[in-house]
Amino acid sequence: MKEIIKILNKMIKDKIIDDFVLGGATALLYYADNIFQTEDIDIFISVKHLGLIFNLEPIYTYLKYNYDAKEYGEYIIVKDFPLQFLLPGDSLHKEAIKNFKTITIQGEKCKIFSFEYLIALMIFLFKPKYRERIRLIIEGKTYDEKKLNDILKRHSLLDKFNKIKDKFNEENILWS
């Protein structure tokens, strides 16, 4: 992972990207590394000159030329890590990128989504794989509830979150 962070920081220095923030399960591992796994690294990038269509080819070319990277489906494999470069397409992702947390991974500084934004994004997207993650997070209560609720209110997700919590409570009653 340290090598990937070094490469991403060099991409900023070389003006391939303006900035990056790690998201998805990779960022979630920072907060709860004992219960989550991931197959790829989600990298949300900032670029100054973003038009209606953004071409990832300069990023891929840079990685192929400098790091012998290989394309594989939606990923580019760098140093045996599948990377997925993503642009923030909706207001929640854009806000999450602006409200990052700076951490150090094996001596390399990088930015990740804050825990509450990761939770909000899982609620927003609510993919099947997020269901169990959200349940474990709710049970653990290791997040700032006020901060999360503020985010969810701003993005009209509080009702959805309450329904998810109610469903988990119903299921727990049935399991008792």
**pLDDT digit string (tens) for 9-42?**
999 999 999 999 999 888 888 887 666 667 889 9
pTM (predicted TM-score): 0.86
* Phi, psi at 101, each rounded to 5°: -120, 135
> For position 176, what pLDDT does the model report?
41
Cα 77 to Cα 128: distance, rounded to the nearest angstrom: 25
Strand ranges of the sheet holding 81-86, from the earlier edge strand across to the other edge: 70-72, 75-78, 81-86, 41-46, 19-23, 108-113, 100-105
Pick from 111, 110, 84, 108: which is nearest to 96 by CA?
111
What pLDDT does 156 receive? 97
What pLDDT score was predicted for residue 34? 60
Residue type, 134: I
* C-alpha triplet 160, 164, 74: angle, nearest 5°: 80
DSSP structure string for 43-66: EEEE-SS--SS---HHHHHHHHHH
Averages of pLDDT over runs of 10 residues in the chain (176 residues) are 92 92 88 71 79 77 96 93 88 93 91 94 88 84 92 96 87 56
Task: Give the position of tokens 């070319």.
Answer: 61
